[in-house]
């Protein structure tokens, strides 16, 4: 990747730094991991290579830059466009077509290293582990209530059994920053958390992160081309909201993050907990 020359910083996230680079005479995006992030970047590179620009940026190159610190970087096509929180009919149809195409890919066409966790795997590896972190620092009433949530959620999930039918490539983090709308289409970026799972994971993420203007939801559904399973969508929504709520608890009380916007951050946590209360069976 010696042909890439950094031009300027673009953004900085929790695990990576992004730069605009000159890559063989074309402006591109370089994504560099922080120490310990190599496995996630390797996974993203494999997904981008497989997708080859279909619904995502094209992968232009990849290399390790410091084996001692376990860092690596990839260079991707720079997709320039808009990040939208509110979707009108046109934008919603674009996103529906893109997501429908991604969800139509068969598992045999996807990278072999993609995880495909069971419901129990997700509960244990994501939710239970975050609850264990939060229990010592978060408010005791919130910790106790979330413990009850997880018990009821585990019972609900157990009723679905293995439920492997219909699994496909999912992004799992469809937020406005990860969807770029151009004049012709939209592309989804930041595939570090991609895996093989039910399409309802992306649909639940979409419902939480975006606002649909009048008629936009129908435009999305028509372009997406399939109906979600309502029971599975409910389960996935509960898992998704529980994950985000527990992350907020750990972020604020365990790691001391997001103190500069505490009122908004904790208000959103309250909204997520209320959503879980309303939707748990």
**Extended beta strands in 134-221, E state:** 168-170, 179-181, 186-188, 195-197, 211-212
Res 143: pLDDT: 97
Helix (H, G, I), strand (E, B) or coil at 257: coil
Higher-scoring residue by pLDDT: 41, 86 = 86
Superfamily of the domain at 86-279: Aminoglycoside phosphotransferase (APH), C-terminal lobe (3.90.1200.10)
- Is the per-residue pLDDT at 1 higher than 70? no
| Stretch(es) of the chain classified as CATH 3.30.200.20 | 4-77
Using one digit for the tens of pLDDT, what is the confidence trace for 74-105? 999 999 999 999 999 999 999 999 999 999 98
Residue 19 pairs in a beta bridge with 9, 30
Res 3: pLDDT: 66
CATH label, 4-77, candidates 1.20.140.10, 3.30.200.20, 3.10.300.10, 2.40.30.170 = 3.30.200.20
Using one digit for the tens of pLDDT, what is the confidence trace for 220-264? 999 999 999 999 999 999 999 999 999 999 999 999 999 999 999
Using one digit for the tens of pLDDT, what is the confidence trace for 157-183? 999 988 888 899 999 999 999 999 999
| Stretch(es) of the chain classified as CATH 3.90.1200.10 | 86-279
For residue 89, the surrounding DSSP H or E stretch is helix 89-103
- Is the per-residue pLDDT at 2 higher than 60? no
Q: Over pLDDT 70: what percentage of the chain? A: 96
The model's pTM is 0.89
Higher-scoring residue by pLDDT: 64, 163 = 163
What does the DSSP 8-state code read for residue 126?
I
How far apart, in whole angstroms, are the C-alpha atoms of residue 218 and residue 240?
Answer: 23
Res 272: pLDDT: 96
Residue 67: pLDDT band (50, 70, 90) is low
Helix (H, G, I), strand (E, B) or coil at 225: coil
Res 178: pLDDT: 96
Burial class (CB in 10 A: 0-12, 13-18, 19+), 103: buried
**Extended beta strands in the chain, E state:** 4-12, 16-23, 26-33, 59-66, 71-77, 86-87, 168-170, 179-181, 186-188, 195-197, 211-212
Using one digit for the tens of pLDDT, what is the confidence trace for 202-223? 999 999 999 999 999 999 999 9
């Amino acid at each position: 990747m010696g042909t890439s020359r950094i031009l300027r910083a673009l953004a900085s996230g929790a695990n990576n730094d992004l730069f605009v680079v000159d890559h063989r005479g074309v402006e591109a995006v370089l994504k560099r991991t922080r120490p310990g992030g190599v496995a996630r970047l390797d996974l993203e590179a494999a997904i981008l290579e497989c997708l080859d620009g279909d619904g995502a940026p094209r992968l232009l190159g990849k290399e390790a830059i410091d084996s001692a610190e376990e860092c690596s970087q990839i260079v991707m096509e720079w997709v320039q466009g808009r990040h939208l929180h509110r979707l009108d009919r046109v934008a919603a149809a674009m996103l529906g077509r893109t997501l429908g195409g991604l969800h139509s890919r068969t598992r045999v066409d996807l990278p072999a290293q993609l995880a495909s966790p069971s419901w129990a795997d997700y509960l244990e590896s994501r939710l239970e582990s975050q609850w264990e972190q939060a229990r010592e620092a978060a408010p005791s009433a919130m910790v106790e209530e979330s413990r009850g949530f997880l018990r009821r959620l585990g019972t609900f999930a157990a009723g679905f059994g293995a439920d492997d039918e219909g699994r496909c490539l999912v992004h799992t983090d469809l937020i406005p920053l990860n969807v770029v709308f151009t004049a012709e289409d939209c592309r989804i970026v930041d595939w570090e958390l991609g895996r093989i799972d039910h399409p309802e994971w992306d649909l639940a993420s979409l419902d939480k992160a975006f606002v649909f203007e009048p008629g936009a939801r129908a435009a999305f559904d028509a372009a997406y081309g399939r109906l979600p399973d309502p029971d599975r969508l409910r389960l996935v929504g509960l898992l998704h909201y529980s994950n985000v709520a527990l992350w907020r608890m750990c972020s604020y009380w365990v790691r001391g993050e997001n103190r500069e916007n505490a009122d908004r951050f904790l208000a959103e946590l309250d909204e997520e907990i209320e959503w879980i209360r309303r939707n748990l069976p």
